[in-house]
Amino acid sequence: MIKPHGGDILKPLFVEDSEERNRLIEESASLPDLLLNSAAAANAVMLGAGYFSPLDGYMNLADTLSVAENMKTNNGLFWPVPCVNRTDDISRIEGSSVIALRDPNVTGNPVLAIQNIEAIETLDVEKINHITKQIFGTLDIDHPGVKTFKNSGKYLISGPIRVLNYSYFKSEFSDTFRTAMEIRNQIQKNNWKTVVAFQTRNPMHRAHEELCKIAKDSVNADGILIHMLLGKLKPGDIPADIRNAAIRKMVELYFPKNTVMVTGYGFDMLYAGPREAVLHAVFRQNAGCTHLIVGRDHAGVGDYYGPFEAQTIFDSNDVLDALDIEIFKADHTAYSKKLNKVVMFRDVPDHTKEDFVMLSGTRVREILSAGKDLPVEFARPEVAKILMSYYQQEGSQ
């Protein structure tokens, strides 16, 4: 099986031993505590689940700057996006060496992890802007990732952590949330040697379905990992439970049995385009996948990134040298009226825009909200029905 990033073994930070975990939970009640923001909580979940292996916790300022500028930590570990814990209020933890990190996304704010503090450093506006520009390529506050990152706090709290739970992901998505180790174990159990990962934060339409099948056939894969983001999205995006139901229905009806694993991971969307695409590759390698599908404007938003920037970043020597996972570069995919099947644009140079069945997200919402059917060339009827129910419910509120 493909090796994890940065070493021979996966290094999840979740405390597996139940006695040790319960002891730490009890001890955490007497520790100084910090209420995390959602981004830092998501980082903790990813560290706990092994997706961010081999990191041992949150980065300090030197590593944060180095990762932002060079995609490497100071000790040379390749990493595309800083893994940080930031806050604007350190009054409860100043002078402490060990603190409890509280979950902002669960009622009662239970302790999510325990952190050993190595440093508390201050980020001035100039540094925040510099790091933001390096990661996102823009300082435009209308970019949802930029807005979140710039407002995450001026203090950077670094140090290793021990993770005590997986936030709301285990309870709300018990059939879908899986750690990197759990996915690796299932891949091994399935006896899959070659595995293609598909990243999604949206429901999957016919084009996405066929893209997975095209990629699987192209690399002669044994199976597909449909790996959906279960964390926070920008306003207007479809909630994770609806996406989960829609994707599962599509896989149940339209993929051959035992060729797809439908799973999810607990992270908030960054919308960081090329940098986030590389991060996706890192943690899919940690999950045991040999290939990742990277499509047009992968992990992008609006018009901030070129259509293929998230693919060309993988051509740089630093990325090629650092990762073992391979990239399946996908073009825009849609149903061809000429050929009566879904195709990638690059494979049909004789086609014009009118030869494809394509709908904007806005038009899809309008059609479904009105209770009308989507074209079967665009979406599977059973999937569209789930989405229609969601949009009609939203419209009635």
The set of catalytic residues is 201-202
Chain-centroid distance, C-alpha 155 = 25
How many distinct helices (H) and strands (E) make up the chain?
14, 15
C-alpha to C-alpha distance for 394 and 65, rounded to whole angstroms: 42
Question: What tokens does 109 get?
Answer: 């704010």
Q: Are 28 and 100 in contact (CB under 8 A)?
A: yes
Strand stretches in 314-359, DSSP E: 326-329, 333-336, 341-344, 356-357
Please classify residue 104 by burial: count the beta carbons closer than 10 Å to its beta carbon, then call 0-12 exposed, 13-18 middle and 19+ buried.
middle
Chain-centroid distance, C-alpha 225 = 13
Beta bridge partners of 72: 78
Element (H, E) at 292: strand 291-294
Please classify residue 142 by burial: count the beta carbons closer than 10 Å to its beta carbon, then call 0-12 exposed, 13-18 middle and 19+ buried.
exposed
The residue type of 363 is R
Q: Could you give the 3-state DSSP secondary structure of residue 307?
A: coil
C-alpha to C-alpha distance for 284 and 255, rounded to whole angstroms: 21
Beta bridge partners of 223: 195
Q: Could you give the 3-state DSSP secondary structure of residue 195?
A: strand
Question: What tokens does 320 get?
Answer: 């090629």
